[in-house]
A and B are shown apart, each in its own frame.
Chain A
Amino acid sequence: MQSLVIVAHGSHLNPDSSVPTHNHADTIRAVGAFDEVRTGFWKEAPSLREVLRTVEGDEIYVVPLFISEGYFTEQVIPRELRLDGWDVSEWDSDGLSASHTVLTATDIDREVHYCGPVGTHEAMTDVLVRRAESVTGDPDVGDGFGFAVVGHGTERNENSAKAIEYHADRIREMDRFDEVQALYMDEEPEVDDVTDYFESEDVVVVPLFIADGFHTQEDIPEDMGLTDDYRTGYDVPAVVDGHRIWYAGAVGTEGLTADVILERAEEAGASIGNALEAVRERTRSTGTSDSAGSNEPAMGD
């Protein structure tokens, strides 16, 4: 019996925080790639401490729904899941290349495949692009458009900036958008000055975040000048300094993120049949993502 466990942050304050995790779990359940799909959270239930004891399978794949390698993937999750003998060198990563490792979870005395985070997987680039398609409503969006990938800067986590650069580079290499730029919340180039970095009139802005919350719904829209007060909402697109800003909200809400979770598990050895195609198809036609421009105020955590 093969089990998938998606682990994520969750929130005590913001009910939207865990919504993408649950949606992606539902997508993966619907395509039947695993005998069971469970979710565990740092801030919600079941906790990371107890999620493994709810798992019935013997082939267990744990995929962190986090944006980058760092504190959570390297310290919190292995500690809370009680992965015996964990050491970050297990991943032999340069900050972007963590793939998977096999360790015994002492809580259940069974081996688990512990995967790298979703956000650094190459397939996440496709999710960013899909997000641009969703927010513009145009499956061929690119021509005449600039693309900004937004993240925290290096201040909080050096690897988080690496992930932003990595995906920005990959989108640039696609040669699909006229311009591509990585922007940050707490360092240069800053998201506040988004319009300075683009010549294109239309700019899609996609934050590399797992869930919508304080940063993506309040800070970034206000910083970019989409609105003076996030509570009054903003238009998509919104006109700022003569540019049309298509602000997409957190990339992790895009249904295709489920695909990246599956890719992580498959690379760790899960046999998932044709689930990848099924998920790509499913998330294209139904789109589990939030509708563009929905920006209900929410408290951050």
Chain B
Amino acid sequence: MTADDVVLSAEVFEAFRTAIADGPIDFDDLYARYDHETERFEFETTETTRTGLSEAGLHEAAEEYASYITNWWFVSSVLDDRSPDRVGFVRWLEAASEHSVPARYDALASGVSRSWGELHITATIDEFGDRSYELRHEDDTNVSADSLDAHSNPLDAREIGTFDERDRYRPLRTAPSLPTGWVFSDLSAIEVCETVDTFYPATIANWYRESDGTLDIDHWRDTAERQTGIYGIIDELDEAAVNRIAASCCVDSQCLKRREWEYDAETELAADGGSGVFPCREPCSLVVAAARKWTTLEREEPQTYEFELTPSEKEQLEALIDAVADDRTDDIREADVYEGANRYRARYLREKRIDEHGNLSGTPTHPEESEE
């Protein structure tokens, strides 16, 4: 199908004619108006300009350029009354601001895909210009839909997004750990928004505000100073610690939101904010809760310890930290003793270097206390 094959139903034409009678339509390369004095219509698209049309003439033009009319109808009927962020999102899905109506219809006929976090969203169109949407995990892009679990209720996304592929709870909905193996098909424009907003709550609203130039950002200091109760202490953390938090929690490997908050309005953090499509406008509750722990940890003074380790043992400790930090422990094969973070290797190191009190190299954590 191409834009030329679009069919204009009697219902849509009637709605179009009635709307023009009420006032001119000026939308996405379509301009149409009715002159009440001359009782004639004007009809203009990027491809044609027709004036002095009778109703029959208008009908003929509308049929010839049906893609423009159905496009107007889609936005004014289906998206009518919806919040501007959702309208903006649905329009973004079909790259409305980048292509002319016929070019867009040609593309939609074979499917236009966008990615949103780990979601792969495809918009398609039928001969009446009605859109429908399919949504799946980006890693399933080339998988046949038949082999995926089919869903149609947007709220199913809640359960899909609660656990990762290994059945671990996902406290951060925007972590890059959505499980694969499911597909939502035949969604309406409203439903696709609902589904996306269930996988990634409030991302559409914040993305839209950003594109609109009205995103309100609460930087670290604003957020920290607002806290009360057990989180009231996190404003103790200095910029260096906050930078470490951002580097630990907010980079793309940990969270798909693009961090837009900084230490404060004047002080940018060096950590990478990421390149996600939707922004993060303030430190989230997970970061605030973790920051509380780091606040108490940062109150400790460093001490000098003396350990004896072979060079390989030192490297092994580094490898262990890396494996945990990069969530690779489950990927290290049981017999792969060449990996420092291999289980047997870790057990051997513990046997050798950690005493019965759990102290590395037999060195007490608090030397003064253990002397007592």
Query: Residues 73-108 of chain A: 1 if any B CB is under 8 Å from the residue's CB, otherwise 0?
Result: 001100100000000000000000000000000010
**A interface, over-half SS:** loop
Pick from B85, B158, B226: contact of A22, CB under 8 Å: B158
Q: Would you call B205 and A50 a contact (CB within 8 A)?
A: yes
Residues of B within 8 A of A56 (CB): 82-83, 86
Q: Would you call B229 and A44 a contact (CB within 8 A)?
A: no
Residues of A within 8 A of B289 (CB): 12, 43
B228 within 8 A of A: yes
Q: Would you call A47 and B285 a contact (CB within 8 A)?
A: yes
Q: Would you call A15 and B169 a contact (CB within 8 A)?
A: yes
Whole-angstrom CA separation of A41 from B202 in the bound complex: 12
A240 within 8 A of B: no
Least Cβ–Cβ distance between A184 and chain B, in angstroms: 22
Query: Residues 213-241 of chain B: 1 if any A CB is under 8 Å from the residue's CB, otherwise 0?
Result: 00010100000001011000000000000
Q: Would you call A46 and B202 a contact (CB within 8 A)?
A: yes
Least Cβ–Cβ distance between B84 and chain A, in angstroms: 10
B52 within 8 A of A: no
A284 within 8 A of B: no
A53 within 8 A of B: yes
Residues of A within 8 A of B86 (CB): 56
Query: Which residues of B from 265 to 295 have beta carbons under 8 Å from A?
Result: 281-282, 284-286, 289
**B interface, over-half SS:** loop
A198 within 8 A of B: no
B171 within 8 A of A: yes
Residues of A within 8 A of B171 (CB): 11-13, 43-44
Q: Would you call A15 and B173 a contact (CB within 8 A)?
A: no
Pick from A43, A54, A71, A75: contact of B202, CB under 8 Å: A54
Q: Would you call A76 and B228 a contact (CB within 8 A)?
A: yes
Residues of A within 8 A of B201 (CB): 45-46, 50-51, 54
Q: Which residue of B lies closest to A40 (CB)?
A: B201
Residues of B within 8 A of A79 (CB): 226, 228
Residues of B within 8 A of A12 (CB): 171, 285-286, 289
Q: Which residue of A lies closest to B286 (CB)?
A: A12
Q: Which residue of A lies closest to B229 (CB)?
A: A71
Knowing A50-B206, A51-B202, A53-B206 are in contact, say whether A45-B173 is a contact too (CB < 8 A).
yes
Query: Residues 1-25 of chain A: 1 if any B CB is under 8 Å from the residue's CB, otherwise 0?
Result: 1000000000111110000001000
Whole-angstrom CA separation of A49 from B281 in the bound complex: 10
Residues of A within 8 A of B73 (CB): none
Q: Would you call A53 and B173 a contact (CB within 8 A)?
A: no
Q: Which residue of B lies closest to A50 (CB)?
A: B202
Whole-angstrom CA separation of A14 from B209 in the bound complex: 32
Knowing A15-B163, A54-B205, A76-B228 are in contact, say whether A26-B285 is a contact too (CB < 8 A).
no
Q: Which residue of A lies closest to B226 (CB)?
A: A79
A166 within 8 A of B: no
Whole-angstrom CA separation of A74 from B78 in the bound complex: 40
Whole-angstrom CA separation of A71 from B284 in the bound complex: 20
Q: Would you call B174 and A45 a contact (CB within 8 A)?
A: yes
Whole-angstrom CA separation of A53 from B86 in the bound complex: 11
B254 within 8 A of A: no
Whole-angstrom CA separation of A12 from B85 in the bound complex: 28
B185 within 8 A of A: no
Whole-angstrom CA separation of A47 from B173 in the bound complex: 11
B152 within 8 A of A: no
Q: Would you call A42 and B202 a contact (CB within 8 A)?
A: no
Give the 3 A-B residue pairs with the shortest CB-CB distance, closest first. Answer: A46-B201, A12-B171, A50-B202
A-B contact pairs, 19 of them (CB 8 A): A12-B289, A13-B169, A15-B163, A22-B158, A26-B155, A44-B171, A45-B202, A45-B284, A46-B201, A49-B218, A49-B282, A50-B206, A53-B202, A53-B209, A54-B197, A56-B83, A71-B229, A75-B228, A75-B229
